[in-house]
Structures are given as C-alpha cells and as structure tokens.
Structure 1
Amino acid sequence: MSITLYALDGCPFCEAVHDALQEHDVAYETEWVDALHSQRNEVKRVSGQRVVPVLVDDERGVTMNESQNIKTYIERTLASNQ
C-alpha cells in the first residue's frame, strides 16, 4: 500500500481525512498513534513532528500534515488518479 495515514482515534481532523479518503475511494492503511505526543516516535520519524493527521504517499514521495492540506491533496491528486 502506498498511502498511509497516521491518525489518533477520536481526532476530528483525522476523521475528516479518513472521510475524504473514503469519499474518493482511495485505498490506504491507517497507522493508529498513541494519544501521548511523547510516544509518537513513528510519526516523528516519517514527518519530523508528532502532530496528526499525517499522510504519507510513498508512490509520489509526499509526506504532509494539516488536515485541510491533506484533503486538498486527496481531491486534486489522489482522487483524479483512481
């Protein structure tokens, strides 16, 4: 799978990104992260910070955060390529 979403259960911003991925039928995997910022080492490794959501598109070499930016990327890039 080339699309991975790092998300926190119950996070409304993460849920908005999940909804956008599903709405546009984008195949992806979710990596659920720990609620404690200090325990989000995997997120920090891939993105340089511990804030979620983070979307990683291995195929295109893109790693991004901020839910609105991710939703725009989904609509402009991923949805049109499905």
Structure 2
Amino acid sequence: MSVTLYQLDGCPFCEKVADRLDEVGAEYDTIWVDAMHSDRNEVKRVSGQRGVPVLVDEDRGVTMPESENILSFVDRTYAES
C-alpha cells in the first residue's frame, strides 16, 4: 500500500485524520508541510491546493483534501468490517 498523508504539525484536522488511520491500522507515510501556505508547493502539486490534510492513495488513484472527506474514505476503505 502506498498511502501518504500531508499534514501540518499542530493542525487538529490533520491529527484527527492521522489518529483514524492509526485506529484502523492503515500503513502510511507522513509528509510534514510548512506552516506558510505559500511554501506548500508539493501539496499544491499533488492536490491542486495548499490546504492540509491531504491523503494520497496511489494504489487506488485517490488524492483527497478535506478532513471529513478523508475520514469517510478511511472508514470505507481501510477499516475492518
């Protein structure tokens, strides 16, 4: 599985997503982004915007911003039934 979470240290929305990924036992890499929106070029490159969190699941061809959308995706995709 090739999953990457772009997140900002101290961001409550990012922490919520990371916590859920941990809860469901999903393996993922974290890329910590700069606090300055103008310095988030990699996030912009992969998602088209500079906000975080952003989840990239290469195996499923998914790049997704917005924590609530990511949480729903995580529950549908990685959570054990």
- TM-score, scaled to structure 1: 0.95
Given residue 17 of structure 1, which amino acid in structure 2 is its aligned partner? V
Q: Which stretches in structure 2 are left out of the alignment for 5+ residues?
A: none
Alignment partners' CA distance in 1, 2:58 and 2:51: 19
Alignment partners' CA distance in 2, 1:6 and 1:49: 12
Deviations 1:19-52 (A, max 9, x none): 0000000000000000000000000000000000
Answer yes or no: is 1:44 the counterpart of 2:53: no
Answer yes or no: is 1:75 the counterpart of 2:71: no
Question: Which SS does the other structure have where 1:79 is aligned?
Answer: coil
Q: How many residues align?
A: 81
Alpha-carbon distance, 1:78 to partner: 1.9
- TM-score, scaled to structure 2: 0.96
Tell me the equivalent position of 1:32: 32
Q: Which stretches in structure 1 are left out of the alignment for 5+ residues?
A: none
Alpha-carbon distance, 1:80 to partner: 4.1
Give runs of ≥4 in structure 1 deviating > 4 Å: none
When the two chains are superposed, the root-mean-square deviation of aligned CA atoms in Å is 1.3
Identity level (%): 67
